[in-house]
Structure 1
Amino acid sequence: MTYFVVVATGRDLEDAWGTALEEARRGHPDDEHPAGTMADKHEYVLIDEPARPLDEAIDRAVALLDADDDRIVTVWHPAGAVPVSESITGRRAWVLVGWTHA
């Protein structure tokens, strides 16, 4: 197994998720669910915690992986979405994190 940590931006989390998923799949046009990317995921779960600065949100996302957080513990669980407190290029942001097939 391997993991991904992706910074995603959008109008809302659904928009950010869709854009990030599309970008992950775009790099692999012949495979709808390429291994080793977030394209393996079909859903996400909001990590319902206070938003934090980007660098802290990335650290928190990695800490969730290290702790085997029950919400994202295996490749069959959804991706986690950690909220970011500042906007990026004028859009809301989340750090998407999860396990995927290598």
Structure 2
Amino acid sequence: MGTTKFFTVGTGPDMQSAFTAAHDLAVQRRWRRAPGRLATKTEAVLIEPEVYTYKAALRRAEELLNGFDPRIEDKWGPAGALEYSPEGDARSWLFFGYAPN
């Protein structure tokens, strides 16, 4: 079985709350035959405490994935997380990683 990269955003007061909300939504979508790659993950690991712009977070996530960062290279392991600053007051995270096909 192969792997596929995924990128999903989540918002919440902290990373765990954002992950739980994004994960629950991914599980719901998965059952409707829509992609739910985050649904295969049970946890997320904060990669860096820095707060990025959305585009910078995407670039950094791609770097980490292409470099096979050991914290996120396992398709059965945790998702990576980077916080980014969107417009408005909501705290947001980019969740990413490899998931089984």
Contact 2:72/2:79 (8 A) holds in 1: yes
Q: TM-score, normalised by structure 1?
A: 0.85
| Aligned pairs, number | 99
Partner of 1:47: 47
Contact 2:27/2:36 (8 A) holds in 1: no
Partner of 1:95: 94
Residues 66, 26 of structure 1: alpha-carbon distance in 2 compared, 3 angstrom cutoff: same
Contact 1:5/1:96 (8 A) holds in 2: yes
Partner of 1:70: 70
- Distance across 2 between alignment mates of 1:72 and 1:21: 16
Structure 1 residue 99: Cα displacement: 0.7
RMSD: 2.1
Structure 1 residue 90: Cα displacement: 2.6
Moved over 6 A (4+): none
AA aligned to 1:10 is G
Structure 1 residue 26: Cα displacement: 0.8
> Per residue, is there more helix in 1 or in 2?
2
- Distance across 2 between alignment mates of 1:82 and 1:47: 6
AA aligned to 1:60 is R
Structure 1 residue 30: Cα displacement: 7.7
**Alignment gaps of 5+ in structure 2:** none
- Distance across 2 between alignment mates of 1:29 and 1:83: 28
Q: Secondary structure at the match of 2:57?
A: helix
AA aligned to 2:79 is A
What's the % identity of the aligned pairs?
A: 32
Q: Secondary structure at the match of 1:21?
A: helix
